[in-house]
Amino acid sequence: MRKLSLLLIFFIGFINAQKLTADEISLINKGDIRTALPIYQTTDEHQHNTLLGLSSEIDPLDKNTAVLVSRMKESLRSTDGGVGIAAPQVGINRKVIWVQRFDKPGEPLEYFINPLITWESEIQNLGPEGDLSIPDFRDQFYRSLVIQLEYVDLKGQKYSEIVEGFTAVIFQHEIDHLSGILIINKKERGSNDHYQKVDAFKKVML
């Protein structure tokens, strides 16, 4: 029964990971594939509509996925202090993100394919957020302090981990992008005793 369930999960994931379209492949490989892809902006109507679109899963074993992952990293590195980026921000409505891991030694940049938040804490932080796709915008937002995350790598290997603090905030921000959610459209939660305000940059014992 367990084997059947695992096969069913794999089959569903395979269906969801639709093949890249010709337009997506063209955009991913446009120009020098070793360089950054341009970052889409809300100030451009077409780009804004792309940012509002829903992203679908991507095949981690497709050679074009590796190119997208690599070029997205260059896009993030080309920014002034960016800490995360999602594929819609480079014009591809697929589930790929990069996040700077402030919770690890050396604070490395890491990619995540088909990421999914499977659990989030009721305790939330209130902290500042900006966005590479929204010029001159910064505001305060509530985010869960701790999340549980599932994702795969370019070999199709599945992982699950628990992330907390500021890094968890980045994950939630970037995964919002995959649902077409921009922080400029998010309504800040009002004061609510159900939530505990904490500093996103500090470790809090639960």
- For the annotated catalytic residues, the residue numbers are 174
Q: Six-digit token pair at 188?
A: 């800040």
Total residues belonging to the chain: 206
User: Which residues have a Cβ under 8 Å from the Cβ of 68 and sit 6 or more positions away?
Assistant: 28, 58, 87, 90, 92, 94, 96
Rounded Cα gap, residues 191 and 35, in angstroms: 44
**Dihedral angle computed from the Cα positions of residues 127, 133, 136 and 138, in that order, rounded to the nearest 10 degrees:** -10
Rounded Cα gap, residues 192 and 50, in angstroms: 34
